[in-house]
């Protein structure tokens, strides 16, 4: 009999096998899926009570067949057929790097990451998790950073909904015995995000731990990683974030182990989901130039460096922790919404991407950044506005214009094909020319107030006055503008300008 599925959906095959001993340690299980002469092997996993599963995300329509392999006789040589139809509506496939510095879904639809952060939301009480999903559904966010393990940290002292590994009588955890219910719940939530069109940026390790999850042996780390990859790699919305603040774990997990982690993921992930790793100390970034890293994921408040990060890595830059909007006593968790919005515009208008988080003091210790719940900040609505602006014309990705003139480095400007955006942040010129088109044309020009969320048309104006002559005396500065026309601006800060060819109506 032939199973039915759709392109980019999760196909799951289950079989019963041995229960004796510790199947997690002892039983290997995998399946190879074939389409004509093409073969894709995916690892399987033990899900408790003698149930073994493989999950497969078909990237191609057609009549697939599959066969299992296993160290356990009853699980070996099982065969089946899978008929894969077209992707369902609004299913665009996994996100990949495209055009070096940008992302798109497998079907080519541009993907601009607008992520938020709820590190331990799946470990909170069910009601709070439902609230988090409800909030996300109404939010501008299309990606969320979330940890496999619970969090032990300031404002995060409650016990998780489920232990990740089985608890022994003495209260310690047996890192050789997964709590299958915990993993099933975790992937259920990944699936719900998938159905909402939200990418799940899965944080595999982090240092904020009192259960021993971050001090497992190397063997246990590797086994855990193979297991989680086997369980969730078939979800099209998964991203791999090897760690949150990996550098705070370096004395228990040396650098070679992190490199190996990347390899293990690649071994079990035929879809090749985006992989990166996140630093704690701004001076301790992992070397994102290593070939197995797909994009730069950093924590850094100094977003004007976005150009430098692009150039150093040659990869997409996502600043996942440019400091959080909030009011707590921690330096990383108390910037104003206004400043976070400013950092969003600065980052996008320098060709990078940036993530969101909120840390407002709460009597119940329900801070969005770790537990989810509700959003309270002033930035969210402005991020929704910004996302709408940039998705309107998103094509191949935003490329900085700023290097074009040596005097053009402080105001942010990018272009995607013929569409340009200039963001002035703290600058407030009343006339402007840098970054404007060098050849004249029928342009639609808009002034964008990034905080008040208004878009109003602008007319071309004369170029700003330039000095009648070049500067002498060895200076290479010139006051000439390359632009074909200038603009008159209101002379207040936190404005942007969008220039695009006028649309034919």
Contact set with a second copy (CB under 8 A): 152-155, 157, 207-210, 213-215, 245, 248-253, 280, 301-302, 304, 323, 327-332, 334-336, 338-339, 361, 407-411, 426-434, 464-469, 471-477, 479, 481, 486, 491-493
Q: How far is the CB of 229 from a second copy (least distance, A)?
A: 22
Query: Based on CB atoms, which residue is closest to a second copy, 428 or 454?
Result: 428
CA–CA distance, 136 with 122 (Å, rounded to integer): 13
Instruction: Answer yes or no: are the C-beta atoms of 354 and 348 closer than 8 Å.
Output: yes
Q: How far is the CB of 407 from a second copy (least distance, A)?
A: 7
Q: How far is the CB of 410 from a second copy (least distance, A)?
A: 4
Q: Is 448 strand, coil or helix?
A: strand
Q: How far is the CB of 496 from a second copy (least distance, A)?
A: 15
**Distances in whole angstroms, Cα of residue 256 to Cα of each of 229, 262, 274:** 20, 10, 20
Query: Based on CB atoms, which residue is closest to a second copy, 455 or 466?
Result: 466
Q: Cβ of 290: how many Cβ atoms within 10 Å?
A: 12
CA–CA distance, 235 with 187 (Å, rounded to integer): 9
How are beta strands 486-488 and 431-432 bridged, if at all?
A: antiparallel
CA–CA distance, 493 with 376 (Å, rounded to integer): 25
Q: How far is the CB of 252 from a second copy (least distance, A)?
A: 4
Query: Based on CB atoms, which residue is closest to a second copy, 266 or 339?
Result: 339
Q: How far is the CB of 203 from a second copy (least distance, A)?
A: 14
Q: How far is the CB of 405 from a second copy (least distance, A)?
A: 10
Query: Based on CB atoms, which residue is closest to a second copy, 250 or 447?
Result: 250
Query: Based on CB atoms, which residue is closest to a second copy, 366 or 431?
Result: 431
Query: Based on CB atoms, which residue is closest to a second copy, 33 or 208?
Result: 208
Please work out, in degrees rounded to the nearest 5, the angle formed at the alpha carbon of residue 448 by the alpha carbons of 460 and 457. Answer: 40
CA–CA distance, 117 with 80 (Å, rounded to integer): 40
Q: How far is the CB of 464 from a second copy (least distance, A)?
A: 4
How are beta strands 358-359 and 325-326 bridged, if at all?
A: parallel
CA–CA distance, 495 with 112 (Å, rounded to integer): 21
Q: How far is the CB of 235 from a second copy (least distance, A)?
A: 27
Question: Quick one: how far is CA 349 from the chain centroid?
Answer: 18
Instruction: Answer yes or no: are the C-beta atoms of 348 and 113 closer than 8 Å.
Output: no
Query: Based on CB atoms, which residue is closest to a second copy, 87 or 436?
Result: 436
Q: Cβ of 426: how many Cβ atoms within 10 Å?
A: 10
Query: Based on CB atoms, which residue is closest to a second copy, 388 or 410?
Result: 410
Query: Based on CB atoms, which residue is closest to a second copy, 104 or 495?
Result: 495
Q: Is 367 strand, coil or helix?
A: coil
Please work out, in degrees rounded to the nearest 5, the angle formed at the alpha carbon of residue 378 by the alpha carbons of 375 and 384. Answer: 80
Instruction: Answer yes or no: are the C-beta atoms of 335 and 378 closer than 8 Å.
Output: no
């Amino acid at each position: 009999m032939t199973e039915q599925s759709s392109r980019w959906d999760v196909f799951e095959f289950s079989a019963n096998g041995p229960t004796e001993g510790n199947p997690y340690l002892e039983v290997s299980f995998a399946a190879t899926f074939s389409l004509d002469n093409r073969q894709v092997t995916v690892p399987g996993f033990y899900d408790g009570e003698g149930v073994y599963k493989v999950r497969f995300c078909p990237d191609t329509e057609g009549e697939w067949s599959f066969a299992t392999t296993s160290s356990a006789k009853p699980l070996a040589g099982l065969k089946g057929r899978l008929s894969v139809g077209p992707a369902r509506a609004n299913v665009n496939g996994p996100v990949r790097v495209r055009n070096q510095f940008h992302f798109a879904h497998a079907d080519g639809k541009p993907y601009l990451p607008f992520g938020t952060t709820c590190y331990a939301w799946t470990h909170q009480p069910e009601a709070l998790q439902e609230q988090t999903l409800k909030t996300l559904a109404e939010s501008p966010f299309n990606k969320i950073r979330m940890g496999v393990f619970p969090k032990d940290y300031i404002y995060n002292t409650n016990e998780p909904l489920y232990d990740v590994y089985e608890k022994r009588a003495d209260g310690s955890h047996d890192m050789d015995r997964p709590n299958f219910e915990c993993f099933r719940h975790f992937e259920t939530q990944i699936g719900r995000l998938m159905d909402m069109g939200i990418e799940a940026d899965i944080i595999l390790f982090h240092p904020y731990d009192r259960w021993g999850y971050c001090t497992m042996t190397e063997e246990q780390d590797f086994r855990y990683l193979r297991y989680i990859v086997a369980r969730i790699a078939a979800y099209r919305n998964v991203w791999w974030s090897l760690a949150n603040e990996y550098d705070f774990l370096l004395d228990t997990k040396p650098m070679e182990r992190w490199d190996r982690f990347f390899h293990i993921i690649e071994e079990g992930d035929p879809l090749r989901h985006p992989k990166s790793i996140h630093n704690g100390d701004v001076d301790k970034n992992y070397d994102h130039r290593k070939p197995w890293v797909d994009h730069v994921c950093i924590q850094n408040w100094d977003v004007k460096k976005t150009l430098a990060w692009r150039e150093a890595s040659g990869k997409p830059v996502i600043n996942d922790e440019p400091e959080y909007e909030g009011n707590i006593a921690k330096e990383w968790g108390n910037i104003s919404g206004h400043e976070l919005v400013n950092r969003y515009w600065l980052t996008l208008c320098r060709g990078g991407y940036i993530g969101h988080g909120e840390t407002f003091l709460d009597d119940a210790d329900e801070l969005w950044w770790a537990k989810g719940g509700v959003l309270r900040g002033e930035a969210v609505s402005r991020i929704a506005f910004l996302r709408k602006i940039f998705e309107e014309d998103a094509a191949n990705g935003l490329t900085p214009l700023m290097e074009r003139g040596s005097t053009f480095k402080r105001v942010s400007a990018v272009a995607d094909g013929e569409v340009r955006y200039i963001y002035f942040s703290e600058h407030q010129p009343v006339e402007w020319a840098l970054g404007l088109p060098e050849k004249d044309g029928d342009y639609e020009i808009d002034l964008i107030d990034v905080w008040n969320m208004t878009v109003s048309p602008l007319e071309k104006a004369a170029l700003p006055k330039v000095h009648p002559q070049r500067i002498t005396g060895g200076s290479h500065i010139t006051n000439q503008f390359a632009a074909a026309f200038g603009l008159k601006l209101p002379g207040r800060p936190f404005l942007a300008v969008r220039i695009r060819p006028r649309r034919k109506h």
